[in-house]
Amino acid sequence: MNYTYKLKDPIGKLHAIVLAHLAKMRTLGNGPNRTVTFTSDPSSTTVTHGWLIEDPGSGEVHQRYLLLENGDVWVAEGWLEQPTDELALLLPKALLNAQIGGHGFLVEGEDGADVPVVVEDRRLERRPFDGPEKRGPA
In this predicted model, what pLDDT tens digit does every residue of 20-42 receive, in sequence order?
A: 999 999 999 999 998 888 876 65
Q: Does residue 65 sit within a domain?
A: yes
Q: Does residue 77 sit within a domain?
A: yes
Q: Does residue 135 sit within a domain?
A: no
The C-alpha atoms of residue 51 and residue 47 are separated, in whole angstroms, by 13
pLDDT at 122 over 60: yes
Q: Does residue 2 sit within a domain?
A: no
pLDDT of 116 reads: 76
pLDDT at 1 over 90: no
Domains contained in the chain, number: 1
Q: Does residue 107 sit within a domain?
A: yes
Q: Does residue 134 sit within a domain?
A: no
**Torsion (CA) 91, 92, 95, 96 in degrees, nearest 10:** -150
Q: Does residue 64 sit within a domain?
A: yes
The C-alpha atoms of residue 55 and residue 129 are separated, in whole angstroms, by 30
Which domain, by its residues, includes 51?
A: 10-119
In this predicted model, what pLDDT tens digit does every residue of 52-109 receive, in sequence order?
A: 999 988 677 788 999 999 999 999 888 999 999 999 999 999 999 999 999 999 998 6
Work out whether the CA dihedral 111, 115, 75, 9 comes out positive or negative: positive
Q: Does residue 49 sit within a domain?
A: yes
